[in-house]
Amino acid sequence: MIEDMELKLRTTLQTIYFGKTKDIVNELRQVMPVSVLKSRSALQQQIAGAIGGRGN
């Protein structure tokens, strides 16, 4: 009986802890739209091309 209650409490605490941690991490993580990522990648390629062209 005591072991069952202990297991139930441990499971509840673990569920709450990991659930709350997941919520906090998801709030802290910034989600960038695909359009921003594509424009950033294009800019990186332009810069790399410009730098590569200077060496010649």
- Angstrom CA distances, 17 to 11, 23, 25, 30, 41, stand at 10, 10, 12, 22, 37
Per residue of the chain (56 residues), give pLDDT as tens: 899 999 999 999 888 988 889 888 888 877 778 888 899 999 999 999 998 877 65
Per-residue three-class SS string for 1-56: CHHHHHHHHHHHHHHHHHHHHHHHHHHHCCCCCHHHHHHHHHHHHHHHHHHHHHCC
pTM score of the predicted model:
0.42
Q: How far apart are CA 51 and CA 56, in angstroms?
A: 10
